[in-house]
Structure 1
């Protein structure tokens, strides 16, 4: 087995682990919402309980010294965008079925392509714009305009805003990732999330059952491991290799939704998810092809 193939396989396995953890986190948050847990509380438990896991990972891996940064403003901007997106996603989980929230969330790469063109001034060719259009058609089918099972309009808006927030995070990480280590970015995001959400608990928090706190603890640990595994996957293999496996989260969300709430995804969700996945996979394939052509065109060092 070649070294590159071994690294790619490791990256894929890590990414699949991250996908399972993200699905567990989302399902746990959805379960906790039955006890009237707010989105702010979800963010607090995700960050406060996940932070020790992240610190342990840093101590065992790159070292705690990696948290030093010369770009605190960039981390603050990234964290604010990330927190806004996550809060919207959590609010959508409260109001919509798990599979629908997950499916709409995968429109994030579509918005990331648009923001890359507008903010980073990246060239986006006709093929990628076609994928964006296909993805938007998929989203339109999922949200069922004019027919099918009616979903909460507020919930749909929250899910779409969450996807835009995720896309914004993708763009900002591209900007600061050239000078900051992934562990640095993850650490400061968890710290900022814990501080901001903790300061808002007196206004949005309430007392819950021990079972609910246990479920929130599970979601926090799962979320931290998901973030770590995703970061490690990107160090092991290129984005174009591992990102297609993210769509496995739709399968896990549908399975957990059926097992826990007896809710199976409807026809609109399945058809829309298929179009969104096709758009995402095609974009990933184009990026992989572009990378290979760039490498092939690069002359060897003398």
Structure 2
């Protein structure tokens, strides 16, 4: 995919993605309040992108772009990504929007750990220090003994962040041979039938409001992914990634307006620590990548830079 340097457009697209993702999470929370099961919600979330991509390619006569020589790698990615998506959307039903969003920002810390363990990357004091800093932020938000966040919700949120980091390793590997459209299609197409079984077992009849929320989840998720991916066509990850943290502001605002929830003091203190740790990791990764100037431009972004905005949601 050819990169065109249009930084303002890249920032605008990334900002639009944060709004769309936040609206999607609100709808996920509302479907839970409406009695719609999470497996069914996830099923429709995956069906829309698969059908939309297939229809778009068919209309252009480009279905051959979906050919792949790595089907089992796509299956593995779908299994990991599906688990991550289940946790990412599931935590929204357990925790308030702001707290669920903040815990998602711990993904870069897990990416550092995974890059050291799985990719044998050398991790220095800056990044290990940022990981420890992020963990301190999590402890502050959890507020042990104050029962601000239920332990189960905290575990699901941390699990979602870990799976986001893990799936990014898979996406980076697939990205060496597959285009983004192909990766997104197979993720949706492979996971949708599995989720369909869960939808059949747990699904129920819905009124018009329920179907509108389900359709809204599919459409906002699809367009959020398109906006997010398009932003990387017009700007570097290191330039647009900071915008991702604006999602916390949307989550806080929507959580207050729709669910009448404002984060407690522990979240206001812990969130800047986690965000600061994430940005420190991204800055350090980008600095190291620039020092390795001999690498090709499209490879000049690290796994950690890509993990801040997961595509598992």
- The structural deviation recorded for 1:136 is 1.1
Q: Answer yes or no: is the 8 Å Cα contact 2:49–2:185 preserved in 1.
A: no
Q: Which residue of the partner structure matches residue 278 of structure 2?
A: 280
- The structural deviation recorded for 1:240 is 1.6
Aligned pairs for 1:1-20 within 5 A: 6-20=5-19
Which deviates more, 46-55 or 74-83?
46-55
Q: Answer yes or no: is the 8 Å Cα contact 2:37–2:199 preserved in 1.
A: no
Q: 1:10 to 1:295 in 2, by over 3 A?
A: farther
- The structural deviation recorded for 1:87 is 0.6
Which deviates more, 52-61 or 160-169?
52-61
Q: 1:25 to 1:174 in 2, by over 3 A?
A: same
Q: CA separation in 1, counterparts of 2:241 and 2:58?
A: 27
- The structural deviation recorded for 1:54 is 3.2
- The structural deviation recorded for 1:106 is 1.1
Q: Which residue of the partner structure matches residue 123 of structure 1?
A: 122
- The structural deviation recorded for 1:60 is 7.8
Q: CA separation in 2, counterparts of 1:122 and 1:13?
A: 33
- Superposed CA RMSD in Å reads 2.1
- Measured against aligned partners, the alpha-carbon deviations of 1:197-244 in whole angstroms (never above 9, x if no partner) come to 112222222223321221111011000111122222223322222222
Q: Which residue of the partner structure matches residue 135 of structure 1?
A: 134
Aligned pairs for 1:60-209 within 5 A: 63-147=62-146, 149-209=147-207
Q: CA separation in 1, counterparts of 2:140 and 2:133?
A: 11
Q: Answer yes or no: is the 8 Å Cα contact 2:24–2:217 preserved in 1.
A: yes
Q: CA separation in 1, counterparts of 2:70 and 2:4?
A: 35
Q: CA separation in 1, counterparts of 2:12 and 2:171?
A: 23
Unaligned runs of 5+ in 1: none
- The structural deviation recorded for 1:73 is 0.9
Q: Which residue of the partner structure matches residue 260 of structure 1?
A: 258
- The structural deviation recorded for 1:131 is 0.8
Q: CA separation in 1, counterparts of 2:196 and 2:288?
A: 44
Q: 1:77 to 1:139 in 2, by over 3 A?
A: same
Q: Answer yes or no: is the 8 Å Cα contact 2:18–2:246 preserved in 1.
A: yes
SS at match of 2:6: helix
How many residue pairs were aligned? 294
Q: Answer yes or no: is the 8 Å Cα contact 1:35–1:208 preserved in 2.
A: no
SS at match of 1:201: helix
Q: CA separation in 2, counterparts of 1:128 and 1:202?
A: 45
Q: Answer yes or no: is the 8 Å Cα contact 1:58–1:183 preserved in 2.
A: no
Q: CA separation in 2, counterparts of 1:107 and 1:60?
A: 40
